Chain A
Amino acid sequence: MKFLVNIHLKKGVLDPEGKAIHHALENLGFEKVEGVRVGKQILVEVATEDEEEGLKLVSQMADKLLANPVIENYQVEVLK
């Protein structure tokens, strides 16, 4: 099964990359942009057909390695 891990900087942690993109979008005339946050997506393939087991495993991976809980949040979703 395939799982997608979405990682973003926590609210309140400055995202300079998002800010730079925000400015660039404004310069291109997209005046309605209110905010831009940049994150990471990691696709993990797990040898299981059990969705619950897979989600649990990938969450452990995210806690241990894929995300840094000090500054980042993550969500895991199943790819169907």
Chain B
Amino acid sequence: MRVGVVVFPGTNCDRDTYWAFQKIGAKVDYLWHRDPLPKGLDLVVLPGGFSYGDYLRSGAIARFSPIMEDIVRFAKKGGYILGICNGFQILLESHLLPGAMARNSSLHFISKFQYLKVVDNQNRFLSRCRNGEVLNIPIAHGEGNYRVDRETLAQMYEKGQVILKYCNKDGEETNPNGSVDSIAGICNSQKNVFGLMPHPERAMEPLLGGEDGIKMLEGFLG
């Protein structure tokens, strides 16, 4: 599997993401945001961080980086895209995914391990997880309060686009940031573009607190 990890000014999870995909056996390249998207990629990852210093709104300026035009085209042709944290925010701003992010309801930046529940595994990303399975993955964000109108949300449930929710150890929904329906991760209706606030690339090693991220990322191996 060939994976490209996009680097914007202010991205800071690019190296963790690079290392995580290498660990599961992928061939990984960094992609500078001003360069064209290379051919032959199986997956493009928009990693976490603070692209353009989060100015204006998280992801609002990165969305107009040169590489994003190629990425939108790649998505329209069915290419797989994963946006983690700030990458998710960029995908929302690009309208590749529905909805928007607002400040956490607590106003605090939250950085901690957080349990997640797999709501829908009928997609490539979560194909190696069971429905209802509880995963323990770090979150680290100030703007993860997912917002979407009720009508769109209903369609998303119908089409299996709500894929991850925040929960406690026993799988009961909890809500760290105020997100609608405790949503932590979604995909588009074609199921080739994925976005989540939690950081699976930070849960790849028992020494670092857990390895639940492995089975998530490995889904892309097919």
Interface string of A1-30 (1 = CB under 8 A from B): 000000001000110110010000000000
- When distances are taken between beta carbons in the complex, the residues of chain B under 8 Å from A41 are none
How far, in whole Å, are A14 and B57 apart by their CA atoms in the complex?
16
Interface string of B97-138 (1 = CB under 8 A from A): 001101111110000000000000000000000000000000
How far, in whole Å, are A3 and B104 apart by their CA atoms in the complex?
31
- When distances are taken between beta carbons in the complex, the residues of chain B under 8 Å from A14 are 102, 105, 145, 178
- When distances are taken between beta carbons in the complex, the residues of chain B under 8 Å from A65 are 56, 60-61, 64
- When distances are taken between beta carbons in the complex, the residues of chain B under 8 Å from A13 are 102, 147
How far, in whole Å, are A65 and B92 apart by their CA atoms in the complex?
13
Interface string of B170-200 (1 = CB under 8 A from A): 0000000010000000000000000000000
- When distances are taken between beta carbons in the complex, the residues of chain A under 8 Å from B148 are 70
B56–A66 CB distance below 8 A:
yes
CB within 8 A of A20: which of B64, B93, B107? B107
Given contacts A13-B147, A14-B145, A16-B178, contact A68 B93 (CB under 8 A): yes
B107–A70 CB distance below 8 A:
no
For chain A, the bracket of interface size reads 10 to 19
Interface positions, chain A 23-77, Cβ under 8 Å from B, are 65-66, 68, 70-71
CB within 8 A of B103: which of A17, A66, A68? A17
Nearest Cβ on chain A to B56's Cβ, whole angstroms: 7
Nearest Cβ on chain B to A7's Cβ, whole angstroms: 10
- When distances are taken between beta carbons in the complex, the residues of chain B under 8 Å from A66 are 56
- When distances are taken between beta carbons in the complex, the residues of chain B under 8 Å from A70 are 92, 99-100, 147-148
A16–B93 CB distance below 8 A:
no
Interface positions, chain B 11-43, Cβ under 8 Å from A, are none
A68–B178 CB distance below 8 A:
no
A9–B60 CB distance below 8 A:
no
Given contacts A70-B99, A71-B147, contact A16 B106 (CB under 8 A): yes
A71–B56 CB distance below 8 A:
no
How far, in whole Å, are A61 and B132 apart by their CA atoms in the complex?
43
Pairs A–B under 8 Å by Cβ, sample size 15: A13-B147, A14-B102, A14-B145, A16-B102, A16-B105, A16-B107, A17-B107, A65-B56, A65-B61, A65-B64, A70-B99, A70-B100, A70-B148, A71-B100, A71-B102
A-side interface residues toward B, CB under 8 Å?
9, 13-14, 16-17, 20, 65-66, 68, 70-71
Given A13-B147, A68-B60, 4 additional A-B pairs, CB 8 A: A14-B105, A16-B107, A70-B148, A71-B147
B-side interface residues toward A, CB under 8 Å?
56-57, 60-61, 64, 92-93, 99-100, 102-107, 145, 147-148, 178
